[in-house]
Structure 1
Amino acid sequence: MRGLAWIDLVLLGQRGNLFPWAPVFLGLGIGIYFLAPQEPSTMTLALLAAGGLGMLFVALRRPGGWSAIGWGLALIAAGVLLATVRAHLVAAPALYWRYYGPAEGRVVGLDRSASDALRVTLDRVRLQDVAPWRTPERVRVSLHAESDAEIRPTPGQRLRITGHLMPPHGPVEPGGFDFRRHAWFRGLGAVGYTTRPVEMLPPARGDPGLPVLRLRMRIAERIRAVLPGETGGVAAAVTTGDRSGIPREALDALRGSNLAHLLAISGLHMGLLAGFVFAAVRGCLAAIPPLALRLPLRKVAACVALLVAAAYLALSGGNVATERAFVMTAVVLGAVLVDRRAFSLRAVAVAALIVLVLRPESLLGPGFQMSFAATTALVSVFGAIRDRGWTLGPRWLRPALAVALSSAVAGLATAPFGAAHFNTLSRYGLPANLLTVPVMGAVVMPAAVLAACLAPFGLESWGLRIMGVGLDWILGVARFVSSLDGAQGHVVAPPPQVLPLLTLGALFVVLWQGRARIAGLVPVAAAGLLWLGAERPQVLVAESGGLVGVQTPGGRALSKARGAGFVARVWLENDGDGARQDNAAARWPDPPGPATPRIRRIDLGGQELVHLIGKRAVRSFGRCRADQIVVTSVPAVIPGGCTVYDVRRLRRTGSLAIDKGEIVAARDVAGRRLWNSPPPRRRRLARADTQ
C-alpha cells in the first residue's frame, strides 16, 4: 500500500501537466494493434471495451493520481479499438493473383514512379472477366510505353490500358516496411505497369469530372507554363501537391541535401502560409484606425488565415501530410480565437490526438513521427527560452538566430527518425536548411499568395516569377550541397525496438516535470546502443525468388546485376550500403560460368546456397544435396534432400532471412492480418486463378 500511495503522490505532483501524455497512451494502444500477430477476436475487443469503460469510470470517480492511471489505461484500450475499427472501415477488394489484360479506370491521381515513369491512380476500375465484387476499387499503374512519354491525362479522364497488375507486395525482408499494409489503408487493391500505349476514353455520362482535382491540375499546368523546367515542377509541387513535373535529377539533389521536405505540403508550408496571411491581415487592419479600434484584430486575422489554410488543403489534394499540417495549424489558430497560448505542448497534444483519431495508421509513418518530433522539440525549446526570460542576442540579430536555432532543433529531433526510415543522413543538411528555409518563408510562400491574389486579373505571372527566383536559389543550394564529397551518409537499419525506446525516452524528458525527467535518457541510451550493435541477416531472399543477397566481408553480394531493382536498393540501404546493384553483384564470389550462367552458388559455412534463375537453370541443375538451400524464381520440383524455396513456396512464406542456420519468413513476422490474408472464399478463387 505504501508503494501505491507513493505512485498517487508522484502523479499528483504532475497535475496540470498530464494532458500532453494523452496522445502518447492512445498511440501505445494503436501500436499494440499493429504489433499483434493476428487480428483481435470479437471476445478480445469486447473485453477491451469493457475494461476501457471500467478504467474511465475509475478516472472519473477517483480523483488524484489514480484518475491519471485510469485515463491512461482507457486511452490504450481506445487506441486498440480505434485502429481495429479503422482497419475494417477501409477494407476494399484487392487482387490476390497476377492479372494481365485490359483494364479501364478513371484518373484520380498523378505522380512519378521510382523509375521516373508517369504513374496514374485509377478508380472505378473494370477488369476483363473479373466480377465487380472482386475488382479493386483503386489501382496504380506506371506508364512505360514510349508513346506515353508526352501524355498527361487529366483528372477524371477515363483510360484503357493493357496492363500487368499484381497484389501490393509484402515486406522485401522480414520485419521490413509492409507496403501491403500501406496500400490497404490507401485503398490500393493492385499495382502494376503497362508497356503498351494508353487509350483515352470519353468521360462517363453524368460524371462531374472531379472539379477540385481538375482545378489543381489546371493551376499546375499554368505554373509550369510560366516557369518551365524543374523550377515549374517544384513550384507546382509546393502549391498544388503535383510532383509529376519534377525531374529525377532535381529530386535526387533535394534528397541528398536534406531539402526534400520542402516539396511536401506539410507543417512548414501550411505554417508559413497561415503565418504570412495572419500577419498581413492584422497589419492591414491595424493601418485603418476605425477598424483597429473596434475589431479584435488577432481573431479576425486568425479566421482569415484559417480559411486560407482550408483552401490550401483542398487545393493541395488533401493528402495525409497536408491534413496533418492543417490540423496543427487549425489548433494553433483556434487557440488564438479562444485567447489561449497558441504554441504549447497542449496544442501539440490536441493536434496529435485529432490526427490519430482520424488516421490511426499514420502513427507508423515517417511523416507523423518526424513532424510531431520537430514540433514538440521546437515548442519545448522555445517555451523554455520564453519561460526563463532568455534572449537570443541583440534585437537586430534575433531573427537570424531564431532561424538557425529552429533549424538545428528540428534537424536534431527528426534525424533519428529520418535515418531509421530512409537509412541516410545528410551531413550538410543543417547549412542547406539555413540557406533555404528563410527563402521559402520570405520569398516563395508570400509570392504564392501574391500570385493567387492576382490570378483573377490574369496577372499571376508577376507573383510566379518572384516565386521562381526563390525556388531557383533553393535548387541551386540543393545541387551544390548534394555534390559535395560525403554529402550523404548511409545508416544501417535499426532493430524494431529502437524507435519505440527512443521515442518514449525522449517524450519522458520533454513531458515529465521535475528532475526525474533525466531518467528518460536511459531508454534513449539503450536505443542508441541497440542501434550501434545492429546486425543484418546473413542471407536475404526476395519474395519472387528472383534475387538473393548474402553478406560477405566486402558487403552484401547480390545474385543478379539487373532485375528486382527495388528489392536490391532497399536491402543495400538497410545495410547502410550506398553501392549500386551492379557493384553489389560483382561481390558474388562465384562468377557465372558459360555453361550455366544463371546458376549462382555461395558457401554459407556448412551449407551451400544455390540460386536458380529461370526454367533453364532448374532443368540443368539435376539432383541436390542435403546441405544445400535452393532458391528459384519458377515452380520447381528438385530431387534430393535439399531445402527448396521455389516461387510457389515463397508466395506463402514471403521474403526470407537466413542467419546462423535459422530461416525466418516475412509472413511469420507479419502474422495473419486483414491486409495480408484474403477471406476464405476469395482465397479459393485466387488459388484457382493462379493455376
Structure 2
Amino acid sequence: MPMRDVPIIPMGEDPDGPDAAPDPRPRPWQSARGLSSIGGGMSRLADAAERFLADAGFDRAPWLAVVFAGGIITWFALPHPWQWLAAMAGGAGAALAAQALWPRGSAADETRAHLRMAVVVCALVFAIGIATIWARSAIVGAEPIARPAVVLIEGRVLGREDQPAEERLRLTLAMRDAEAGVARKVRVNVPLAALDEAGPPAGLAEGAVVRLRARLMPPASPMLPGSYDFARAAWFQGLAATGTMVGRLTLVTPAPEGEGLARWQRALSAHVRAAVPGSPGAIAAAFASGDRGGIAEADEVAMRDSGLTHLLSISGLHVSAVIAAAYFAVLRLLALWPALALRVRLPIVAAAAGALVGIAYTLLTGAEVPTVRSCVAALLVLGALVLGREALSLRMVAVAAGFVLLLWPESAIGPSFQMSFAAVLAIIALSNSAPVKAFLAHREEPWWQRLGRRTVLLFATGVVIELALMPIVLFHFHRAGMYGALANVVAIPLVTFVAMPLIALALIADLAGLGWPLWWLVEQALALLLGIAHLTAAQAGAVRLMPQISGFAVALFASGGLWLALWHGRARLAGGLPVAAASVMVALTPVPDILVTGDGQQVGITMRLPNDTLRLVSLRDSRSEYTRDNLMELAGVGAEPVPIAHWPGARCSSAFCTLTIARGGRDWVLLLGRNRTQVGERALAAACAEADIVVAERFLPRSCRPRWLKADRRFLERSGGIAIDLAAERITTVAAGQGEHGWWREPEPRPPRPAAPATATFQ
C-alpha cells in the first residue's frame, strides 16, 4: 500500500496556514459555544494588562490592603446575608476562573503567571475581607435592649472616663439582666452633681462593683439618613444600652488595690491640668494622656472648624513625634560614648528605645484603635530604618493597614481609619513624585533659601492633605474647615516641635519639683494654638456645610485618590478622571427639601430666600443641640433654624401647622403635627385630604389619607428618619441603608399612647 505524501513543515511555522482547510476535530479547549474565541480574547487582554502593569511599575502589596478593605466595605454596603454569600462566592469563582483560563503549565504561563496570581490572590482576599467582618460582627456584636427602661443595676466597672467639661463621669459596666437571663455591657453617665462634694469615691475604678439606678436606652440609630450611626458603633463595642444615672451611686466593692494603666492615665491627666490651668491645661492633658474630657465645647468647635481637630486625638502625629524624639535622643546620647559607638550599632539600640517608648505611650493614652494603628506604622518605620530600607513606603502603609483591619475590620468604614491612611498616602505620594524630588534636591544655597523651600513644601503638603481628606470629612461630618491648610502650617510645627517636647521636659522636671517654668511655656504655646483655632474658625467662609453626598461619589473619590497615590509615572494621572467626576457630583448634590427625624418630633424644611440663600424652618424650637446640628448639617444650612410658627405663610394651631412650598413646578401642602393633643377624627381626615404630606409623631387613623405621603409613628418606626426630595419625588430612609445587619432592629409594635384630653381645632 503506497504511503501518502506527508508535507514537511519547517519549525516555527503554523501548520494551519491561511489557506489550510479547517480541522473538523475540536480542540481540547473548545466547546460548542466557542470558548476558544473567548479564551483568545482573554489572552490578548491578559497580555496587554501584563505589559501595562510592567510599564507602570505596579506594586501589588498595597493593592492587597485595598482589596481587603473593599471586601469589608462591601459587607457593610450589601443589606442581606444571601448577598454576602454571593459576593464571597463571586470572589472564589473569579479565582477559579483565572486558574481555568490561564492554567499552570500552559504555553503562555511565563508571561501571564504574575497576572494570574494577582487575580487569584485579590479575589480570595476580597472574599476573606467579607468573611472577616462577618465573623467579627457575629463574635462581638451585642443584642440591644428591647426598649427604654429604668432599671436597678449592680455591675462591675469595666471602664471609667472623666469628663469634667461635661460635669459627669462615664462608666462602662458589666451587669446581669435578670429578666433576659444574659450578661450585658452598658454605658452610664454619672452627673458629678449626684456625687458627694468630695467627688468620686476613691475606690471607683476598674474592677469595682457599684449599684445605681439608671434610665437605659437602646443605642440610637441614625437620626436622619447620613447621620452618625451610634447603634452600629455600639454593636462592635459590645454595648447593649446607654443611659444616665438617676438617684445616688453606691460603691458595693471598691476596686482592688494596685495601679493599673487607666489609673495612671487619670492621675497623669489630673497632674497636667493642675499644672496648666484653663483650656491650655485641658489640651495639654489630651496630649500627655489622651484624656479629652476636660476640653470645653467652644474649644472643640473652634478646633473642628479650623481644621485642627486632628491634633486633639492621639494619632500618627503624636506617636511619631514621641518615637522620633526618643530615637534621636538615645542616638545622640549614646554617640557621646565612643567605646560603645565603635562596638554597637547605635541605630538598632535607638530604634529599640523608640519602640519601647512608643508602646508605653500608646498604652498610657488608652490604646485606642487610631493610636494602635499609628504605633504599628511607626514601629514598621523603625524596622525599615534598622534594616536600611526606605522608611516611608507604600508597602509599610499596606502592612499597617492590613494589621489594623485584621484586628478591627469595622474601622474600615470609620472616619478615623480613612482619614489617617488618606493623609499618609497623600504625604508619601507627594514626597515620591518627581517634581517634589527635584524641588528638594540638594544644592548649594543659603540656609534661608533651604528653609523657604521646606516651608513651601510644608504648605503644599497641607493643601494636598486637605484635598485628600475633604471628601471623607464631608461624607462623615457634612462640614469641613476651608482654611485648615493655612492653620496647620503653623499649628503642626507648634505642637510637634514646641508643645509636646515642653510637656515631656516638664514631666521629667517635675520629678525634682522644677517643672513650673516649663509648664508656663506649655501654657503659652497651647494658648497660641487655641488663638489660631478661634481666629481661623471666626473667618467668613471658614466652614463649608454639605448635605449627604452619595456613596457612589465617595467611591469615585476613593478609587481616583488610590490610583493617584499607588501608581507611578504618567499612568497615575488617569486617577484625576474619577476625582473630577466625583467633584461634579458633589457640586450637584441636591439639598433635601424636608428632613424628618425618626421619632417624628422634629421636621426641618429648607427654604430659599430671594437673595438665593437657604434657611431652615423647624417644626419646633428644639433645645437639643445635637438635633439642631444634625438638621443644619444635612440641610447644608449654616444659619440658626426658624420655628415654623414664626415663618411667614405658615398657619399653626395648638396641634398642627400647615405650610405650602413650591418645588418641582408645583405647590406642596404640608400638614405637620406639633404634639399629641386629641383632634376630632373628621376634622383630621378633612385636613389630611387637603395635604400632600402629613408628618406626625402619633399614630394617625386610617381615615387620614394625604395625597402623597403619611409619615406617622407607624411609618417612621419602620423607616427611621427620612429625607425628602420633592422635585424628584424621592424619599430616602434610614432603614434603606441598614438591611439585616445585627445593629438594626425594627421596633416591636406598640399600642398607641393615650392622647391628651384637650381637643384642638384647625385654623
User: Does the aligned pair in 1 maintain the 2:616–2:640 contact within 8 Å?
Assistant: no
Where 2:131 maps in the other structure, the secondary structure is: helix
- Deviations along 1:146-191, whole A, 9 cap, x unmatched? 7789955753355544332211222222354422112211222222
Partner of 1:372: 421
AA in 2 matched with 1:600: C
Aligned pair 1:614/2:675, yes or no?
Answer: yes
AA in 2 matched with 1:284: L
- Deviations along 1:597-639, whole A, 9 cap, x unmatched? 3422223555532222322155696334345333222344363
Work out the CA distance in 2 between the residues paired with 1:373 and 1:93.
Answer: 33
Q: 1:245 aligns with which of 286, 294, 319?
A: 294
Work out the CA distance in 1 between the residues paired with 2:131 and 2:295.
Answer: 41
Aligned pair 1:362/2:411, yes or no?
Answer: yes
Aligned pair 1:332/2:381, yes or no?
Answer: yes
Work out the CA distance in 1 between the residues paired with 2:139 and 2:750.
Answer: 26
Q: 1:25 aligns with which of 56, 67, 75?
A: 67
Partner of 1:442: 497
User: Does the aligned pair in 1 maintain the 2:57–2:568 contact within 8 Å?
Assistant: no
- The Cα shift of 1:418 comes to 2.1
Work out the CA distance in 2 between the residues paired with 1:74 and 1:677.
Answer: 32
Partner of 1:525: 580
Work out the CA distance in 1 between the residues paired with 2:543 and 2:53.
Answer: 45
Work out the CA distance in 2 between the residues paired with 1:364 and 1:60.
Answer: 37
Work out the CA distance in 2 between the residues paired with 1:619 and 1:340.
Answer: 79
Work out the CA distance in 1 between the residues paired with 2:198 and 2:430.
Answer: 49
User: Does the aligned pair in 1 maintain the 2:226–2:634 contact within 8 Å?
Assistant: no
Aligned pair 1:110/2:182, yes or no?
Answer: no
- Deviations along 1:322-357, whole A, 9 cap, x unmatched? 112112111111212332111111111111111222
- Judged with a 3 Å threshold, the aligned counterparts in structure 2 of structure 1 residues 672 and 142 are, in CA distance, closer, same or farther, namely farther
- The Cα shift of 1:518 comes to 1.7
Where 1:391 maps in the other structure, the secondary structure is: coil
Partner of 2:488: 433
AA in 2 matched with 1:484: Q
Work out the CA distance in 1 between the residues paired with 2:226 and 2:285.
Answer: 36
Where 2:695 maps in the other structure, the secondary structure is: strand
Q: 1:290 aligns with which of 339, 342, 348?
A: 339
User: Does the aligned pair in 2 maintain the 1:145–1:197 contact within 8 Å?
Assistant: no
Partner of 1:623: 685
- Judged with a 3 Å threshold, the aligned counterparts in structure 2 of structure 1 residues 56 and 563 are, in CA distance, closer, same or farther, namely farther
- Judged with a 3 Å threshold, the aligned counterparts in structure 2 of structure 1 residues 496 and 447 are, in CA distance, closer, same or farther, namely same
User: Does the aligned pair in 1 maintain the 2:166–2:293 contact within 8 Å?
Assistant: no
- Deviations along 1:276-323, whole A, 9 cap, x unmatched? 111111111112211221221112111111111100111011112111
Q: What does 1:371-410 align with in structure 2 at a 5 Å threshold?
A: 371-384=420-433, 387-388=437-438, 390-391=440-441, 394-396=446-448, 397-398=450-451, 399-410=454-465
Work out the CA distance in 2 between the residues paired with 1:283 and 1:25.
Answer: 42
Work out the CA distance in 2 between the residues paired with 1:467 and 1:292.
Answer: 35
User: Does the aligned pair in 1 maintain the 2:175–2:186 contact within 8 Å?
Assistant: yes
Work out the CA distance in 1 between the residues paired with 2:672 and 2:197.
Answer: 36
User: Does the aligned pair in 1 maintain the 2:719–2:734 contact within 8 Å?
Assistant: yes
- The Cα shift of 1:546 comes to 0.7
**Stretch moving more, 305-314 or 104-113:** 104-113
Partner of 2:229: 178
Work out the CA distance in 1 between the residues paired with 2:291 and 2:336.
Answer: 38
Work out the CA distance in 1 between the residues paired with 2:621 and 2:197.
Answer: 27
Work out the CA distance in 2 between the residues paired with 1:664 and 1:574.
Answer: 13
Work out the CA distance in 1 between the residues paired with 2:320 and 2:752.
Answer: 50
Partner of 1:211: 260
Partner of 1:230: 279
Partner of 1:666: 734
Work out the CA distance in 2 between the residues paired with 1:70 and 1:576.
Answer: 44
- The Cα shift of 1:212 comes to 1.2
User: Does the aligned pair in 2 maintain the 1:122–1:138 contact within 8 Å?
Assistant: yes
Work out the CA distance in 1 between the residues paired with 2:253 and 2:86.
Answer: 47
Aligned pair 1:8/2:50, yes or no?
Answer: yes
- Structure 1: state its 5+ residue gaps: none
Aligned pair 1:349/2:415, yes or no?
Answer: no
Work out the CA distance in 2 between the residues paired with 1:17 and 1:315.
Answer: 37
Work out the CA distance in 1 between the residues paired with 2:184 and 2:292.
Answer: 25
Work out the CA distance in 2 between the residues paired with 1:119 and 1:56.
Answer: 57
- The Cα shift of 1:450 comes to 2.2
Figure out how many residues of one structure are paired with residues of the other and give that number: 678
**Stretch moving more, 621-630 or 426-435:** 621-630
Q: What does 1:565-644 align with in structure 2 at a 5 Å threshold?
A: 565-581=625-641, 583=642, 585=644, 588-591=647-650, 593=652, 596-603=653-660, 605=666, 607-616=668-677, 618=679, 622-624=684-686, 625-628=688-691, 629-637=693-701, 639-642=703-706, 644=710
Work out the CA distance in 2 between the residues paired with 1:256 and 1:198.
Answer: 38
Partner of 1:75: 125
- Judged with a 3 Å threshold, the aligned counterparts in structure 2 of structure 1 residues 9 and 273 are, in CA distance, closer, same or farther, namely same
Q: What does 1:500-519 align with in structure 2 at a 5 Å threshold?
A: 500-519=555-574
Partner of 2:717: 651
Please say which structure displays the higher CA radius of gyration: 2
Where 2:743 maps in the other structure, the secondary structure is: helix
User: Does the aligned pair in 1 maintain the 2:141–2:237 contact within 8 Å?
Assistant: no
**Stretch moving more, 491-500 or 255-264:** 491-500
Work out the CA distance in 1 between the residues paired with 2:680 and 2:216.
Answer: 29
- Judged with a 3 Å threshold, the aligned counterparts in structure 2 of structure 1 residues 67 and 444 are, in CA distance, closer, same or farther, namely same
Work out the CA distance in 2 between the residues paired with 1:314 and 1:214.
Answer: 12
Q: TM-score, normalised by structure 2?
A: 0.81
Work out the CA distance in 2 between the residues paired with 1:49 and 1:208.
Answer: 52
Where 1:137 maps in the other structure, the secondary structure is: strand
Where 1:622 maps in the other structure, the secondary structure is: helix
Partner of 2:150: 100
- The Cα shift of 1:526 comes to 0.6
- The Cα shift of 1:576 comes to 2.0
Task: Give aligned-pair identity as a percent.
Answer: 29
- The Cα shift of 1:428 comes to 2.9
User: Does the aligned pair in 2 maintain the 1:52–1:78 contact within 8 Å?
Assistant: no
- Judged with a 3 Å threshold, the aligned counterparts in structure 2 of structure 1 residues 219 and 175 are, in CA distance, closer, same or farther, namely closer
**Stretch moving more, 297-306 or 442-451:** 442-451
Aligned pair 1:412/2:467, yes or no?
Answer: yes
Larger proportion of helix: 1
Aligned pair 1:39/2:81, yes or no?
Answer: yes
AA in 1 matched with 2:632: L
- Deviations along 1:90-136, whole A, 9 cap, x unmatched? 112321211123334426142659x9453514221356x64341x53
Where 1:494 maps in the other structure, the secondary structure is: coil
- The Cα shift of 1:272 comes to 1.0
Where 1:556 maps in the other structure, the secondary structure is: strand
Partner of 1:677: 745
- The Cα shift of 1:665 comes to 2.6
AA in 2 matched with 1:670: Q
Where 2:391 maps in the other structure, the secondary structure is: coil
Calculate the aligned-residue CA RMSD, in Å.
3.3
User: Does the aligned pair in 2 maintain the 1:159–1:198 contact within 8 Å?
Assistant: no
User: Does the aligned pair in 2 maintain the 1:274–1:309 contact within 8 Å?
Assistant: yes
Aligned pair 1:257/2:315, yes or no?
Answer: no
- The Cα shift of 1:524 comes to 0.5
User: Does the aligned pair in 2 maintain the 1:498–1:530 contact within 8 Å?
Assistant: yes
Partner of 2:187: 139
